[in-house]
Amino acid sequence: MCVAYPVQVLRLHDDGTAEVDTPRGAQRVALLALDGAGLAVGDWLLAHSGIALARLDPQDATGRRSLLDQLGGLS
């Protein structure tokens, strides 16, 4: 099963990508599906297959991440 996972922005890059924190370490995601305006380090995103799909509220993101981690995370 494929699952979109909440990730937190660690660094923004000029090439339209962001480095994000995942359970498997830092990874880059493309910001193609988002309007990059206003994104900042510390923001939470919903990512799947290397693409950020949506911006998440921090409380919603940490709740989703906790639930997914309890269910087995990104195995």
Write out the chain in H/E/C secondary structure.
Answer: CCCCEEEEEEEECCCCEEEEEECCEEEEEECCCCCCCCCCCCCEEEEECCEEEEEECHHHHHHHHHHHHHCCCCC
- pLDDT for residue 73: 55
Query: pTM of the full predicted structure?
Result: 0.84
pLDDT of 17-66, one tens digit each?
A: 999 998 889 999 999 988 766 899 999 999 999 999 999 999 988 888 88
- pLDDT for residue 24: 85
- What the chain holds in terms of domains, given with CATH numbers, is 5-70 (2.30.30.140)
- Residue 75: pLDDT over 50: no
- pLDDT for residue 48: 92
* Residues composing the chain: 75
**Beta strand 44-48 with 17-22: parallel, antiparallel or unpaired?**
unpaired
